Amino acid sequence: MRRADNRQVAKLKTHIVAKGRYGVVRLSDEAKAAYDALRKSVDETRMREAVTIRRYFDRFAEHGPRSLDMKMFKALGKLKDGTGGRVQLFEFKAYQWRVYGVMRHVDNIACFVGLGVDANKKKDKADPALMSRCAKLSSEI
């Protein structure tokens, strides 16, 4: 794969964390590491977030994005990707924990690909720098 400036782009490695009739949820190495840390946490709030986000991932994989309401999964808007185009960014959210990513078809399967995590989100607005980084990473899928 080549970028707009004709440089070769390595394909981003992703990990499947949920699989169902609708599709799969994949996470980049960075997002998977944050998700694994969340799942191993013994803090009561973190444990609640881990159970909730897992349930949302499974529901998305089985029934698709329309099975989740705006408090669980929502579109954040279009941002510039790494190739000069624009990409729609989405977020899964469980209490203070957020994962940002894009919808793609990988190997002809509908996927949410999580590219970045905000583990301690305190404000209502998403971090613009993190969203921009995720949009740029989306061109490497």
Q: Is the pLDDT of residue 8 over 50?
A: no
Mean pLDDT of 23-51: 93
Q: Where are the chain's structural domains?
A: 14-140
Mean pLDDT of the region 119-136: 81
pTM given for the model: 0.86
Q: What integer is the mean pLDDT of 5-31? A: 83
Residue scoring higher pLDDT (68 or 6): 68
Q: Is the pLDDT of residue 9 over 90?
A: no
* Cα angle for residues 85, 86, 90 (degrees, 5° grid): 150
Q: Who has greater pLDDT, 47 or 11?
A: 47
Q: What are phi and psi of 71, to 5 degrees?
A: -80, -15
**pLDDT value for 2:** 42
Examine the pLDDT at 3 and tell me if it is beyond 60.
no
According to the model, what pLDDT value does residue 92 have?
95
Pairing of strands 86-94, 73-80: antiparallel
Per-residue model confidence as pLDDT tens digits over 56-85: 999 999 999 999 999 999 999 999 988 889
- pLDDT the model gives residue 121: 67
**Closest C-alpha to 12, from 130, 93, 114:** 114
What is the per-residue pLDDT across 95-116, written as a single tens digit (0 to 9) for each?
889 999 999 987 888 999 999 9
- Cβ burial of 73 (10 Å; 0-12, 13-18, 19+) is buried
